Amino acid sequence: MARFLIVRLSLIVVTLLAVSVAIFTLIEAVPGDAASVMQGQQATPDSLRNLRAQMGLDRPPHIRYLDWIWDAVRGDLGQSAKSNASISEIMGERLAHSALLAVLAFVIAVPLGLVMGVWVGTRADTKMDRFLTMGGLVTISLPEFVTGVVMILILSSTLGWLPSSSIMMPGESVIGNPKVLVMPVLTVTGALFAYIMRMARANVIEVMESNYVRTAILKGLPMRTVVVRHVLRNALLPTITVIANNVGWMFGGLIIIENLFAYPGMGSLLIQAIDTRDIRMLQSTALIIASVYAFSNLAADLAYGALNPRVRLS
Amino acid sequence: MATGDSTIRPQASTATGVAKVWHAVIAFFTLVLRTNTGRIGLAVVGIHVVLALIGPWITPFPPTEYHIQDQYSSPTSTYWLGTDEKGRDIFSRVLAGARSIIWIATAGTILGVTFGTIVGVTSGYLGGRVDQVIMRIVDWFLAIPSLLLAILVINMATQRFRSVDESFIIIGIIGISFMPNNSRVIRSATLAIKPLEFVQSARLRGEPTLYIMFREVLPNVLPVVGVEATIRLSFALLLTAGLGFLGLGVQPPEPDWGKMVSENAIILDVAPLASLAPGIAMASLVVGINLLADGIRQAQNLPETGDR
């Protein structure tokens, strides 16, 4: 286990180095640099040269890359070109907000989706099954921003129960305003739940057709025992793999939902950095999102190993 | 992975090009029409495609025309779905938006699937070191969430190549971000075909490697490619709309469904249809495509793979 962890962790380091080079290059290739963005219209060739020298932008790209990565590893992400605030501080708060959103949605959607999926999977081809799978397909197909807009229209515009956006006074936190969390969490949960349910159902149906389940039923075990002891473990494994493989897609959904509700997380920070051409902020946000992604993939692998003894031993 | 036995049928490569395409089209429709799910999906997608094709002739107004005196209009006999903040006709804009999103998503999917199929067949058939190198590169691609990659590439490409039409940049990005997953699926399908007799006998006959890859293996992984392409199409639509929603898609004033939803979300109280209509259009199109894909899957008895 320790060995597995060490191998995986060093792989993550290599991957993240490659990803950071890609991010740096993609952002570096955008015309204009931080100095020209900061001075905007008032820039003169002289003032630009001075600012570049002061910010260290006159150094060659590979030196600036190493400088950026070395600082990032020590937890210093530099300063925002727009507000001069420390990026690390802003990032800490935004990351906590996004994590709260993702974890809440996950905690609701995963157990609910698995239970419902197993439940309809053992009742394949009934009316209920057809209704739920069809409903699930429709829910999966809805783009997040459409679900979100419909929700705003109903819960906020018509009923007036919830604020339509998550914009808060400076200094306020999401924890103090649980109301702003409801719609973003529900939007993420909806699609995730339907997806997990369909996957769990498909896998349960497959396992139910296997010989060992037939044997278990024929030897007279109560249906409940068959499902809990024989079906669950074998059906959940592939389901969890599929969920794990789609963490990246969930990240995409989060970016869109945060922007729809102006939720103060990483996804809205990313788009904000692009709109204001805040180069340092954009680099760091992208790097942090990619790192969280790498670690959530590792977490998914660990969960898989915990359920599957064959993986654990190798 | 969609490599059920039903998909592996050695095919004679004697028919001419046109006849082959025709056969494939017929086979596709027979498959789709076999289940109710497929029939409904085909109808929904068909309506969208027809409306997108004849759109320019039936739009009541030019989609970018302002009617400031009629802003925030509710649906009337003149403006069937009302107007937005600048008095532009929502119905005309939704119709025009269909054209651009269907074109971008379809072209992007074709690019990605073609690219992925070439990489997948090459990797799977050659095996060994080539396979290992290709699969490592694919892994690198998957190390960044695809939407993040798309956002960064678009941000760079639109500012660096200002003269290039954004739709071509988006098509390119869809192609790049679909290649990795797609080539994995095609690779595993190729691995299932490789040990079969007709491939081995071609090898013993001394056929050139390229010939075996594209005349013996490729025709037999095409059913898998077809299913893949249908599923990918719905992701391409969602990606295009998502980028548009984030303001990184087709630039205003040209209508874009995603952009319409986001720019009109603030006037939801006065003109709800301005963002609901493109949203519903988007949702129904993706539902249609997914029903179509599900229908094909049911008809072929393929398991649900859940790759996104």
Tens-digit pLDDT profile for residues A194-249: 888 888 888 888 888 888 888 888 988 888 888 888 888 788 877 777 777 677 77
Name residues whose C-beta falls within 8 Å of residue A137's C-beta, 6 or more positions apart in sequence: A194, A198, B287, B290, B291, B294
Binding-face residues of A in 162-181 toward B, CB within 8 A: 164
pTM recorded for the entire structure:
0.85
- CB nearest A157 (choices: B155, B268, B291): B268
Size of interface A-B (CB pairs under 8 A): 146
Nearest CA-CA partner of A207 in B303, B26, B168, B139: B303
Chain B hits for A143, Cβ within 8 Å: 238, 241-242, 245, 258, 279, 282-283, 286
Cβ–Cβ contact A30 with B under 8 A: yes
Nearest CA-CA partner of B243 in B164, B306, B149: B149
Chain A hits for B289, Cβ within 8 Å: 141
Written as one letter, the residue type at B103 is W
Using the predicted structure, report yes or no on whether residue B3 has a pLDDT greater than 60. Answer: no
- CB nearest A157 (choices: B159, B269, B280): B269
Residue A282 in contact with residue A34, Cβ under 8 Å?
A: no
Using the predicted structure, report yes or no on whether residue B306 has a pLDDT greater than 60. Answer: no
Helix (H, G, I), strand (E, B) or coil at A178: coil
Residue A80 in contact with residue A94, Cβ under 8 Å?
A: no
Calculate mean pLDDT across residues A31-54.
77
Chain A hits for B246, Cβ within 8 Å: 255-256, 259, 271
Task: Kindly provide the ipTM of the predicted complex, given to two decimals.
Answer: 0.84
Using the predicted structure, report yes or no on whether residue B220 has a pLDDT greater than 80. Answer: yes
Nearest-CA distance from A75 to chain B in Å?
Answer: 21
Cβ–Cβ contact A206 with B under 8 A: yes
Residue in A closest to B157 by C-alpha: A30
Residue B27 in contact with residue B294, Cβ under 8 Å?
A: no
* pLDDT band of A172, cuts 50, 70, 90: low
